[in-house]
Every structure is written in C-alpha cells, then in structure tokens.
Structure 1
Amino acid sequence: MRSWLVPVHYLIVPTESPAGSLRAPRSDVTGPAPELIWPDSLIQPQRPPALIYLDLNHWIGIAKANVGRATGGGYMALLDAARTAKREAAAVFVLSDSLFIEMSNIADPRQRRDLADVMEELTSFTIMLSRPSVTRLELQAAIEGIVGPGPERYAPLDLLSTRLAHGFGKRGNLLIKDSEGNDVTMNLRAEMGAEKFDAMMAAMERDANRMLLRGPQDDELDDLRLRGYKPEAHRQVTQNRLDQELELVAILNREPKNWRKGRLRDVVGGRELVIELNDMIVMALMPRGLSVDNLVEGDRAKIRSFARCMPGCEVAIELKTQYHRDPSKRWMVNDIYDIDALAVAVPYCDAVFTDAAARSILVKAGFEGRMKTALPRTPDELVGILAALPRSR
C-alpha cells in the first residue's frame, strides 16, 4: 500500500530554493472555511434542554460560591441561575473526561470534594463522550462524504450518558460476578426482584460515579495502587502529546523565515492528521482497501478540506494554530486537556464557558455562528443565556 503520509508531507514540509534557503511562507490565506460534515452516528439528545459546558476554572468559582467563600465575578448569581435552569429543565450541565484528569491533579482532597459536590448537583453525572470516540465517528462521516458508505461502520453512540465511564470510551453496565468470575447479574435480579435489584444497581452506579468524580483520598492511595491504580500513566500520554506541540514550537523558532506569519494553519492541520488521527485513518481505510491518496489525490485543497471538515478537528486545529502564532506562548499540559474538551463541547453543546484566551480564538474564528454555540465572556453573560432558555417545566 502506498504510504498515505506522502500527500500530508507535501502539504506541510517547507521546500528549499536552489540556493538552499527556505522559501518565504505565503500568507495564511486558504480560502473560505470548508463545509463541516456532522456524524450521523453520534446521537445527540433532543433540545430543549440546552447543553452547557464549563471549564474547570469556572467550576472552581461556582464551588467556592457553593461553600460560601467570597469569589466575586458573579459566580453566586451563576450558581443560582444554573440551579434554576436545571430545575426547570432548561439546561443540562455536562462534564468531560478532561475535567476528571484536571481534578485529579488537585492535591487537596477537600477542594476536590467541594468541586465534586457542586458538579454532582448540577450535572447529575452527565458526561460527554470522549474526544477519541467522537473523532472516530467524525472521521467515518468525513470519509463517507468523499467515497460513500463502506462495508463496516461504527455502531451509533450517544453523545451523553450518566455513566462516567462513558466519558472515557467505556461501554456496558455494572456486572455482578461470583467468586469464580461468572456473570450472575441476571440471576441475582431474578432472585431479588426487578424493582429492588434495579434500585440497588442505580445506587451502586451513583456511588461509583461519586468516587470517580471525587478521586481517591490520601489514605486510600496505597491500597488502590496495589490494585493497579496508575493515574500517572494517563498523564504521561498527555505529556507526550504536549511534547509534540513543544517540538513544533522549536521548529518554528529555528526556521529562518517566520512561518508563524505564513500558512501555519496548514502546518498544524497536517500534523493533526499525522499525529492525532494516523491510527484512526488507517483503521478506517483498511477494510475498504484504500489509502489517503484515494481520498485527497495529493491535492493540497482536498487535504485541507479533509482535515478541517470534521467539527472537533476544526476546533482543535484553530486553537493550536493561534496558540502557535504567539512565540511567547507557554504550552502547559492543561492546554492539551482543554483542547480535547473544547473539540467536543464547542461543536456539540449549546453554550461553552471557557477561559478568555480560548474564547477569543473561538469567537474570532466565527464558531459561534458556524457551530451555533454561545460563547459567554463572563458569568453574568452566561446567567443571561440561562435565563433566556426555553423552559420544559
């Protein structure tokens, strides 16, 4: 099979002039943004209620208001408005797997507990599907938009669930096994009776969600590690992804021409395909007997459209592009978590309350209109959005 990397490198690798110096990058004029292709296999809940996503810093502000600590900035009013919107079925507040990982980095168990309490109250453990799972469905739709349906398709997935494991790409329900490892769930249900058994399982699910959200207490860590608890393994994966962004920073810094003023979006988009989507693309095309050459034919415009027609990928590319334009930007692990969360929340939620830097990029990119997502600037703006939502009760 011909390597599908060939057209991507054609897109992103700067060429040299006969004299050996890099050609000056052209301005970042790539034509209008490509039409977005929305995955039909991603099942979204009916509106209303609206879906609302908050970054961790705003959850911290709400948690402080909830325990009576002075926060300023309108978080007490936002807490009251959020409670009203949930009670009247105007809004569903949603979590992401990124929030869990960021919370696990908070050393103080009390702070984690305060956060978990208000998150549980407002979200009822509602969580979005993880970015990798959403990306697979977006990629499937993008490929089908070019070559039509294939012999195999991913099963439809719900965007939301109240099982927190759903947000980490885990499917299925809690099982009860005997001492020999046999599944006795249905046998026990028959013995206990459906109503009593289902109530017990619901309580167990809530307890599991609560424990996952709060994270382990200090006196539980030793026992959990004996059972295989290794949060640093996930953090190392994220650190590796951060290192890839730092690698690009180093490349941009050492180039004699200023690629930050050139077609930087193409560079970032090409790297997104190669680094983030490589395995997914190969897995999606192999059953068809195709390579990326069959999709984009070595054409720069087609490569660009392929990378940017996927809603979540488009959000990630835009955020990374604008972060890399700033040579003074200090990349942090939390940037990777935030980009992953926003790549799902911005396309698929109705309002996203993020930090000022990310919001500025998203607004300038026109995502409020393209993705029909409100991007409030302050807690007061989100209060106004919540107050204006249609009520189901």
Structure 2
Amino acid sequence: MDIVYLDQNKWIELARVYSGAVRSGPLAEVYFQLLAAVEAGRALFPLSASHVLETSKRNDPESRGHVAATQAVLSKGFAYRSRASRLQVEICSVMHQIFGNPPMNLPEHWFLAECFLEAFESLDSLISQSEEVQRISRILTVISPADLYTDYMTGQSDEVRRMAHASLKQGLSDLVGRMEMRRKRLTGERVDLRRRAYFVQLFMDHEELFIRIADHLGYSYERLKSIGASAVKALVEEVPTLNVEAEMSARLEAEAGALTTNDVLDMQSFYTAIPYSSRVIAEKASVSRARQAKLDVRYQVVLSHSLTDLLNLYSKPPT
C-alpha cells in the first residue's frame, strides 16, 4: 500500500471536486481514482499535525467542512504519529545500531495512528496512556476515525478555535524569529556549514532525550559518548526526523527573502512525511529543497508538485 502525503494546498484542490466546484477534467479524474485506490487498499493519504491545524484555522465553516470531508475520506482518519513518538522510536533504533545490537522489530506502518488526534504528543498512544488517550479509544468504539475527524472540524466552538489559532500563530512567529536570528549569524555561509551548525544545535536541544532513552535501554550515556564523534554524529544524522529537519532548514535559511510561518509548517510537514511516505506531493519550493538534499534518494520517496502526477497511477493493475 502506498502512503501518500499531500500538502495542504493539494487537499484544497481536491476539496473543489468534493464540493462540486470542479466537475470534470484531470483534477476530477484524479479525485475519483484516489477514492477507488483507498477503497481497494492500494493507497492511503494520512493527515499530519499541520493538516489538522491548517484545516481548523479556516474561518469559513463551509469551506472548512469541504476540506475536512475530503481529508476524512482519503485518510480514513489515519495520521502520522507525533514528532515525539517518532523521535523516540528513531533514536532507540539508532542506539541499537551504535552498540551493535539487532535492529528493532517494528510493524510495517508503526508510524501511523488510527486517530488524527494522535498526531499530537499528549494524545499519542505510543507514548501516552493518559485518561484522555483512553477516552479517545472508547470513543472510537462507537464512531469511525474519519467521522470523528469531520465532527471535530465542523463542531468546534468558533471562539475557542480562533483563540487557539491566535496562540499558535504567536508561537510560530516566535520560531520564525529564532530562525531569522540564526540565519543572520550565518550570513554568507554555504549550505553545508549551515547544515552542520544545525546538527550541532539539534544535538544540544535533544541531549536530555538521548540520555533518557539510553538509560531506558540500559545503555550508559557516558559509554555512548566514549565511542566518539561517530556516535554523536549518528544521533542526529541517522535519526530521520532530525536529519530531514536539518537538511530542509539549512537550505531554507540560505535563501533570500523573509521567512514566514508557512515556511515553518512546510518544514514540519517534510520531516514528518519524507521518511515514512511512498510519495510526497507538495509545493515546488519545498520539493526543490528536498531534491537538492537528495532526501528522495535517501528515503526512497517520490517527490512531486502536481496532483496530476497521480493520474492513472492507481487505475492500473498492481505489479
């Protein structure tokens, strides 16, 4: 089964078919072919935390409902797990490699969660057994994940929704500010130096997590550091989420022009999707950065910027 990531703008395009605004042509053909592919179990189009946030912030209820319904039917309510749980599994795997132990035995699609809410750390059942997680599990016994998603998107309190997104916007703006400061410090430097500087920053930012995971696995963090630079390097360069973040950020920050909150969301989308997808359909600029970093080769993912690249892909018999 193909796991296909669609940029939010691609979801909006497909929602035009769902709503009836587009009734014929290549886009309509693609939409109905994708519906059939999902029904046949040949493809799935999971959601990410960015999708949930971007759909929720649409102020027009009708438009929000169309996008949500389109996402629900093609994702079946499934989502990529939270960054925190993906990191935990990735770091555990790399530590096993560093110490020469057998790789972890993981289910094929361990990175997917049945419910979109698990895209958020506090509600991700892989790392949390809170009362809220248990309550969601009970809810899913009486409603499908897809229906829960559409109900969530159409039934939110408008006041609470707007307040939450104002807070989110401020948080993203603060992150953009920190990125601009780092960008300024490295003015004139090449992408390779920016990438290495970002890896160092990521190692420092996640050192407590490395220590906690090493202790949980029964490895001495001191012994880990004694292995030398190769171990330290592996803890950022061989951890897919961190590697993609560094590669994409280094190229983004090397470009001219002011950074935006959409740039941050695009980066988060790529480090979520690239390591775990068969295909990623996104905007040209982000696809270009990923190709420059050869992330498509490293993670064996097909990158594209047009939905029409999916035309007839799933109408042929599987090979």
TM-score range (shorter-chain normalised) is 0.7 to 0.9
Higher mean C-alpha deviation, range 53-62 or range 63-72:
63-72
3-state SS of the aligned residue for 1:280?
A: helix
CA spacing shift, 1:162–1:297, aligned 2, 3 Å: closer
Match of 2:213 among 270, 284, 289: 284
Letter in 2 for 1:203: I
Q: Are positions 1:336 and 2:264 aligned together?
A: yes
Give the AA of the match of 2:2: A
Amino acid of the structure 1 residue aligned with 2:307 = P
Q: CA 1:208 to 1:376, structure 2 compared with 1: closer, same or farther past 3 Å?
A: same
Checking the alignment, whether the CA contact within 8 Å between 1:138 and 1:310 is kept in structure 2 is yes
SS at match of 2:186: helix
Gaps of 5+ in 1: 1-48, 177-184, 186-197
Q: Distance in 1 between matches of 2:274 and 2:250?
A: 17
The C-alpha deviation readout for 1:260-280, integer Å capped at 9, x for no partner, is 3652220122122223x2442
Tell me if structure 2 keeps the 8 A contact 1:64–1:70: yes
Q: Distance in 2 between matches of 1:292 and 1:336?
A: 34
Q: Distance in 1 between matches of 2:222 and 2:90?
A: 16
Q: Distance in 2 between matches of 1:266 and 1:130?
A: 25
Task: Quote how far apart the aligned CAs of 1:131 are.
Answer: 1.8
2:183 aligned residue (249, 256, 279): 249
Kindly provide the amino acid, as one letter, of the partner of residue 306 in structure 2: T
Deviation of residue 380 (structure 1)? Answer: 1.6
Please show how residues 64-213 of structure 1 align to structure 2 within 5 Å. 64-70=16-22, 74-147=26-99, 158-169=110-121, 170=123, 171=125, 172-174=133-135, 201-203=141-143, 207-213=147-153
Contact 1:265–1:321 (CA under 8 A) maintained in structure 2:
yes
Q: Give how far 1:312 is off.
A: 2.0
Is 2:306 the counterpart of 1:354?
Answer: no
- Helix, strand or coil at the partner of 1:51: strand
CA contact (8 A) 1:322 1:361 kept: yes
Conservation of the 8 A alpha-carbon contact between 1:102 and 1:337:
no
Tell me if the contact between 1:94 and 1:123 (Cα under 8 Å) persists in the aligned partners: yes
RMSD across aligned positions (CA) = 3.4
Alpha-carbon contact 2:80-2:113 (below 8 Å) kept: yes
Which residue of structure 2 aligns with residue 309 of structure 1?
238
Q: Does 1:268 align with 2:229?
A: no
Q: Which residue of 2 aligns with 1:385?
A: 313
Distance 1:342 1:297 in 2: 31
Kindly indicate which of the two structures has a greater share of residues assigned to helix: 2
Asked if 2 retains the 8 angstrom alpha-carbon contact of 1:50 and 1:389, the reply is: no
SS at match of 1:263: helix
TM-score, length of structure 1 as denominator length: 0.68
In 2 relative to 1, CA 93–145 (structure 1 residues): closer, same or farther, beyond 3 Å?
same
Q: Is the 8 A contact 2:176 2:259 kept in 1?
A: yes
Distance 1:389 1:348, change over 3 A: farther
SS state at 2:4 partner: strand
1:248 CA drift (Å)? 0.8
User: Which structure's relative contact order is higher, taking Cα pairs within 8 Å and 6+ residues apart?
Assistant: 1
**Alpha-carbon distance change, 341 to 377 in structure 1, aligned in 2, over 3 angstroms:** closer
Instruction: Please say if residues 85 and 386 of structure 1, whose CA atoms lie closer than 8 Å, have aligned partners that are also in contact.
Output: yes
Matched letter for residue 131 of structure 1: R
Please give the alpha-carbon distance, in whole angstroms, between the structure 2 residues aligned to 1:84 and 1:105.
29
- What secondary structure, in the 3-state scheme, does the structure 2 residue paired with 1:352 have? strand
TM-score by length of 2: 0.82
The partner residue of 1:295 within 219, 225, 229 is: 225
> Does the 8 A contact of 2:191 with 2:251 survive in 1?
no
Cα distance between partner residues in 1 of 2:313 and 2:171: 37
1:352 touches 1:375 (CA, 8 Å); kept in 2? yes
When residues 293 and 332 of structure 1 are mapped into structure 2, their CA distance, relative to the original with a 3 A threshold, is farther
